[in-house]
Structure 1
Amino acid sequence: MKVIKFLTFGLLYLFGHPLWAQKKPNILFCIADDWGKHAGIYGNKVVKTPNFDRLASEGVVFTNAFCGSPSCTPSRATILTGRYPHQNEESGNLWSTLQTKLPNYASILAQNGYHVGLERKGWGPGDFKVGGYEQNPAGKSYKNFDEFLEKRPADSPFCYWFGSQDPHRVYEAGTGKASGMNPADVRVPAYWPDTPEIRNDVLDYYYEVQRFDREVGQFIKKLEEIGELENTLIVVTSDNGMPFPRAKANVYDAGTNLPLVFYWKGKIAAHATNTFMSFVDFAPTFLEVARLPIPKEMSGKSLWPLLINQTQNHRNEVFLERERHANVRRGDRSYPIRAIRTRDFLYIQNLAPKQWPAGDPQPYFAVGAYGDVDPGPTKDVILQDSAKYAYYYRLCFAKRPAEELYDLKKDPEQVNNLAENGNYQSIKKDLSMKLTQWRKETADPRMAGKQPFETYPYYGNSAKTEQMKN
């Protein structure tokens, strides 16, 4: 009798489970461009994100979601391949390519009956044709969601990538304040000076975050209108942190800890989770949701057990990295970083500490001095009076030591480096060993003394000079 009851329960679970529904689910992936963890659900009182907050309150919202690399191209490659940036060859760099030999969840879904497409910014920036793709690796490009749905074969599930270009710079100055936001309400982080220019710069960034949120709301409305909301997994996130000094292109939390929500009406229970997830986990999750095998070449692991509350712990730490962002150093050199982020500490290895982390100070390049930091008022304020703001200049632009260690409970904004503090040496040693072990397990080419990221072509449009090539 016990065996019969067990089998009956198992069959009911199996065939009643949302993944085993007769109809395969749709996947809507909404990704912002340079959006840090700034939303109402995360406690921000200035920026208004009602649509993200609605999904978060009714879905699964993450507080510890981390991109693989704080740079557009490698971050988006990691989402597609389920592999760490250094495993994606050229796509570990900005303005590169992505090889078709690497696994790609969008391609796998397309090969298995899904209608796959994208709007605006998919994988990139870079030249995907060099890697063997005829169209963007995230899918065929469509003008908008309506056109995509019109081309959808009858009864086919869909996977749609909405790649907004908000809140990427350049901003229209004053739009944030003009929209009704108050500069006095901005909380300026510890690594920038508190000036009116910077407060207004943040508001202009918030203005574009709100525009992205409104577009997410339009997708929700459309799914409701066509009766697909209950059969669609909606994911909303960003590729890397905000385009400000010490954020984007840096492995500090401001560059890597991102907003993330999973929503599937009636299929996943609403809850907040503080377990860690890495962007390598997206691809395995989407494949499991589509009831497809996960390629062994993927390094990530599916979030599905976490989403349906079968487990509360997914990861205890995440690993972070970056290679060449823009071509902003003499000889196209990279600024390689490897790091481990746990609940209590961030440990960073700067593998080329003699290089400038934000790019060379000499304006050899079309993007100007310190070109890994996007141009804007906050950057200008710090650089135009670097003597007055020497402390902030050091944090945002100066050369950095080979190791950094931050105690997140005491220093959540990561400005007090404890790598040489005698009280933290055992912690540093333990984190260094874990980081080294991960690099070995994932075949980081730099562990073998190789430096392929220095030689991969840069397909960006920035002008180069002969002096720069030397």
Structure 2
Amino acid sequence: MKPRLNILHLHSHDTGRYVQPYGHAVSTPRLQAFAEQGVLFRQAFCAAPTCSPSRAALLTGQSPHVCGMHGLSNPPWSYRLKDVGHLLPHTLKSAGYHAVLGGVQHVTPKEEIGTQGFDEILNHDDMGEDVADLHERAAAFVHRAAQAEERKPWFMTVGFDQTHRDNCQGEPESGGGFSKPDPYDVAALDSRYTLPPAIYPDRPEIRQDMASYREGVRRLDARMGHVIAAVDAAGVADETLIIVTTDHGIAWPGMKCNLTDHGLGVMLMMRGPEGFTGGRVVDAMVTHRDLYPTIMDLAGIAGPDWMEGRSLLPLVRGECERLHDEIYGEQGWHEVAEAARAVRTERFKYIRRLDPVGPKSANCDEGPTKKLVAAWGGFDRGLGDELFFDLYLDPQETCNRINDARYADEIHRLRGKLDDWMKRTNDPFLDGVAVPPPGPGKG
């Protein structure tokens, strides 16, 4: 019988890998310290680069089109899980866990949070959303659980709004801020020594936008760090698995809602028993779908048969060099339809789109960089039905090699891999369908 294991799932909005432990000039001292205590996965990917599908995949262990989350769960789109009972809290509760929700969830509408299987919700005052003192409420729960007479194992998921773009800073509809529950003055930030992400030109407006992102991350780091410190102070670090991740890439053009690594790549750091220690870095590809079976493995629970991922434990223990020869990603509906599928190996990526025109401007969050990219003609270009990238020679995924005869064999192989995966998972994309939202939607 395995000892009790608490599970703390800390997650953010739209952070990608743009934090200090991944080498970026974005100060996150608490997350850096956490990474140096645990295990960091440098090649971690979400299942879909948009909010509800990504979160649903992590919490069900299934691809978005399999669990039914083809787009956003909130109105007016209102996509629904096929089986809410597949959510991780239900499985853990059946094994004796106390399940706690704090902050952002975004896999059901607010009025349906009660179906998700949580025993306790930290913020009834703003259900399913971040609140300014969320980190303090989560820390208080950790201390309370550690002092309880009956110490049941617990699972707590804590979702922060940072670093989602918002309109609480700067002009209305500007999207210039990245910290909805904790606003700041974007214009007062010093951007002189800031470098934009590599796919953008070094211009003053984009430097200012990146300086604002860095400020949002600084606040995220403080809030996540506060909860992690509570685990240590409560004396339960040795019996608690802490997962730190985000839903998908940052909310910039060509990133969020895109199947490039900029959209699919996520931070993933874990600390806890059975090898998740020592400041180690893992270069093998892993996905959010691997977290469900990992938790089952660590908690000593028989995993449900719907799980698509694989436990990370053999990788962390050094029993294998890789878990996956290839991984899969998908995009369906954000603001409008932009259905696409991707298969990625260590070196190559193949993407198939239903609509060759894109990326869609409506699927990119409003912000200063978006305004510039739109003015330069960066949206609604002819991307093509198929894209193929050599990620070793073209890590920014800017040169489509789909018609390059030198890659013909690899393109053929990955086309087949993607076809097989879609058939195996009954993907509606096979029929050329972007599943429309049950709500009115905007497409």
TM-score (norm 1): 0.81
Please name the residue that 2:438 is paired with: 457
Residues in 1 aligned to 2:118 and 2:435: alpha-carbon distance in whole angstroms: 23
Question: Residue 23 of structure 2 is aligned with which of 33, 43, 58?
Answer: 43
Change (3 A) 1:111 1:340: same
Whether 1:273 and 2:256 are equivalent positions in the alignment is no
**For residues 210 and 296 of structure 1, do their structure 2 counterparts lie closer, same or farther at Cα, with a shift above 3 Å needed?**
same
- The one-letter code matched in structure 2 to 1:345 is F
Indicate which of 298, 305, 309 corresponds to 1:300. Answer: 309
User: Kindly tell me: are residues 412 and 452 of structure 1, through their superposed partners in 2, closer, same or farther at Cα, counting changes over 3 Å?
Assistant: closer
Aligned to 1:213: 221
C-alpha displacement of 1:127: 2.2
Q: Which residue of 2 aligns with 1:26?
A: 6
Aligned-pair RMSD on alpha carbons?
2.4
SS of residue in 2 equivalent to 1:53: helix
Q: What SS does the aligned partner of 2:435 have?
A: helix
Contact 1:68 1:78 in 2 (8 A): yes
Residue matched to 2:138: 145
Question: Which residue of the other structure, out of 215, 234, 237, is the alignment partner of 1:229?
Answer: 237
Of the three residues 335, 349, 352, the one matched with 1:349 is 352
Q: Is this contact kept in 1: 2:89–2:116, CA < 8 A?
A: no
Give, in whole Å, the separation in 2 of the partners of 1:114 and 1:428: 46
Shift of 1:129: 5.6
Alignment-mate amino acid for residue 54 of structure 1: A
Q: What is the correspondence of 1:1-20 to structure 2 with a 5 Å cutoff? A: 20=1
Deviation at 1:76, TM superposition (A): 0.4
1:299 positional shift: 1.0
Q: Secondary structure at the residue paired with 1:453?
A: coil
Aligned residue in 2 for 1:61:
40
Please name the residue that 1:166 is paired with.
162
Q: Which has the larger radius of gyration?
A: 1
Matches within 5 A, 1:288-437: 288-326=297-335, 328=336, 334-353=337-356, 356-358=358-360, 370-383=361-374, 385-386=375-376, 390=377, 393=378, 396-437=379-420
Deviations along 1:390-438, one digit per CA (max 9) or x if unpaired, are: 4xx1xx5424200011111111111111111222222211111111111
Gap regions ≥5 residues in structure 1: 1-19, 329-333, 359-369
CA distance in 1: counterparts of 2:234 and 2:83, whole angstroms: 34
1:26 deviation in Å?
0.5
Q: Which residue of 2 is the match for residue 122 of structure 1?
A: 105
| Paired amino acid for 1:134 | G
Q: How does 1:228-247 map to 2 (within 5 A)?
A: 228-247=236-255
How far the C-alpha of 1:187 sits from its partner, in A, is 4.0
Structure-1 separation of matches of 2:246 and 2:41: 13
Return closer, same or farther for 1:231/1:177 CA change in 2, 3 Å cut-off.
farther
Matched residue type, 1:402? D
The answer (yes or no) to whether the contact 2:98–2:119 under 8 Å persists in 1 is no
User: In structure 1, what is the equivalent of residue 133 of structure 2?
Assistant: none
**Secondary structure of 2:102's match?**
strand
Q: Deviations over 1:346-380 (max 9, x none)?
A: 110012325x431xxxxxxxxxxx22100000011
Q: Which amino acid aligns with 1:457?
A: P
Structure 2 residue aligned with 1:251 = 259
Q: Residues 189-213 of structure 1: CA distance to partner in whole angstroms, max 9, x if unpaired?
A: 23x3332111110111111112111
The Cα of 1:153 is off from its aligned counterpart by: 7.0
**Letter of the 2:295 counterpart:** F
Q: What SS does the aligned partner of 2:397 have?
A: coil
Where structure 2 has 5 or more consecutive residues not aligned to the other structure, the ranges are 74-78, 124-136, 171-183
Equivalent AA in structure 2 for residue 116 of structure 1: A
Corresponding residue SS for 1:312: coil
2:338 aligned counterpart, secondary structure: coil
Deviation at residue 176 of structure 1 after TM alignment: 6.6
CA 1:295–1:450 in structure 2 vs 1: closer, same or farther (change >3 Å)?
Answer: farther
1:134 maps to 2:127: no
**What is the aligned-residue identity percentage?**
29
TM-score when normalising by structure 2? 0.85
Change (3 A) 1:297 1:185: same
CA distance in 2, matches of 1:138, 1:413: 40
My pick for the range that moved more, 257-266 or 140-149, is 140-149
